[in-house]
Amino acid sequence: MISPSDDKSSSPGDRKIGRIPVRNLWLLMLYASDLTRVRGAFDAIVEKDITDIPELIARLLIDAVERRLRRNLTRGYCHREKTLTRVRGRINILITESRQLLSKGEVSCRFEELTIDTARNRLVRAALELMARLVRDNDLIHQCRALSATLGRAGVGGTRPSRANLAADQIGRNDATDRFMVALARLAFDLALPTEDAGATPLVAPDREEAWVRRLFEKAILGFARVDLAPLGWSVRGSIPLEWQLSSASAQLGTILPRMVTDIVIDAPDAVRRLVIDTKFTSILGFGRFGDASLKSGYLYQMYAYLRSQEGYDQRCDMSAGLFLHPAVGLQLYEHATIQGHSIAFATIDLGGSATAIRSELRRIIRYDPWLDTFRASDRETSESKGARTA
């Protein structure tokens, strides 16, 4: 169980979970959150703020709630069942007859009621209460508690809604202004990771839940690519299934044929280049019988299948490149090669460094253009062969 720490003497971000500093887990959560889908959300993130993400999120959440309060909070319909003296909505015949309500001049009704006490508003109020316990700045603590009290006086309950309630409260086109505020509120609960002391906010422990951290790393890389490349015209998509090019197959082969699903696919603005990224939350190197380190062959076979199996669909598939991205602590590795016309690279991101260094390294790796190196090598070989013929 993980909860915000009550110890204000040291910065929570300086602590570590496993070998990874908590501030860098916060960074991954920031990029893995729904904020990456909100246009302009990351304009507020600057280098001086990135070292204390909880206070940054608190400031953004306070500003978002204040703006929504000035324009009135979004109301929604909730299901109600009450015994009334007049008919409202639909009559619950079973309860009305079994309790003989008609003899008392009453009737059991089911109806939808317009209210401000919606799941999203309750989530925001609960997030404000949580951030008041998580941040250390006294002004932010006071603002969070004051806004929470304001929501309470307006009729918003203080109980955090369940996942089912949040799933039912979908944000539509007409209330899209709530999207940024709700994304911040969701992220606030993800940030409660400083200690493993028992607390009121139960969350998974990243160093003990490998699947959770692996998914977090994948979503963070996808979010970073959206923030960094989408404004430049690149298409960034996640969890893209690939189809085998079968010329003939038995009737039942489709039920047992392995599925191919890539983690991230990035298409260039010119629509002729593609980068396939596969994230692995494991060591990038394996060790053989004699202790020698080597790249894991299974990963190489996997990427080879991703790239070669799609040839012939379009020019992007014919010129696609692959990238394996692994987290590491104290290790930096970037190796690449061109295999049968496809560039395949293996790289690591040092999660033990600063947030600025992590972002710079991610930008350098993802923006690296393997096609240019391939073209330059081809041009160089062509010019050398022409020179040899001339000689």
Residue 60 burial (C-beta neighbours within 10 Å; 0-12, 13-18, 19+):
buried
Lowest mean pLDDT of 118-127, 167-176, 281-290, name the range: 281-290
Mean pLDDT (whole number) for 95-99: 91
Residues 128, 55 share a domain: yes
The CA R_g of the chain, rounded to the nearest whole Å, is: 27
Alpha helix segments (H runs only) across the chain: 22-32, 53-70, 93-98, 119-134, 138-154, 163-168, 178-190, 210-229, 253-256, 297-308, 315-318, 355-367, 370-390
Give the confidence band of 58 by pLDDT, cuts at 50, 70, 90. Answer: confident
Q: What is the pLDDT, as a whole number, of residue 384?
A: 46
Distance, in Å, from the CA atom of 375 to the CA atom of 221, rounded to the nearest integer, reads: 27
For 173, the token pair is 């086109």
| CA neighbours closer than 13 Å in the CB half-sphere of residue 353 | 16
Specify the range with the lowest mean pLDDT, choosing from 19-28, 123-132, 152-161.
Answer: 19-28
pLDDT, position 3: 40
339 domain-assigned: yes
The total domain count for the chain is 3
| Predicted model pTM | 0.66
Structure tokens at 340: 């049968």
Quick check: is 202 in a domain?
Answer: no
Over the chain, what is the mean pLDDT? 78
Task: Please tell me whether residues 158 and 299 are part of one structural domain.
Answer: no
Report residue 265's pLDDT band, with 50, 70 and 90 as the boundaries: very high
In this structure, are 40 and 129 located in the same domain?
Answer: yes
Please check whether residue 349 is in contact with residue 358, taking contact to mean a CB–CB distance below 8 angstroms: yes
* Range in 20-34, 48-62, 256-270, 298-312 the model is least confident about: 48-62
Q: Residue 254 domain-assigned?
A: yes
**Domain range for residue 102?**
79-115
Q: What is the pLDDT of residue 6?
A: 41
Query: Given this model, what pLDDT does residue 283 score?
Result: 74
Report yes or no on 45 lying in a domain.
yes
Length of the chain: 391
Domain boundary among 90, 115, 140: 115
**Same domain flag for 30 and 137:** yes
**Digit-coded pLDDT (tens) for 192-244:** 554 444 444 444 444 445 566 778 888 889 988 988 888 888 899 998 888 88
Tell me the mean pLDDT in the region 3-18: 51
Is residue 333 located within the same domain as residue 251? yes
Is residue 386 helix, strand or coil?
Answer: helix
138, two tokens: 């006294």
Please name the residue that has the structure tokens 């190197």: 285
Question: Does residue 154 lie in a domain region?
Answer: yes
Lay out the sheet containing 90-91: strands in order across: 76-84, 107-115, 90-91
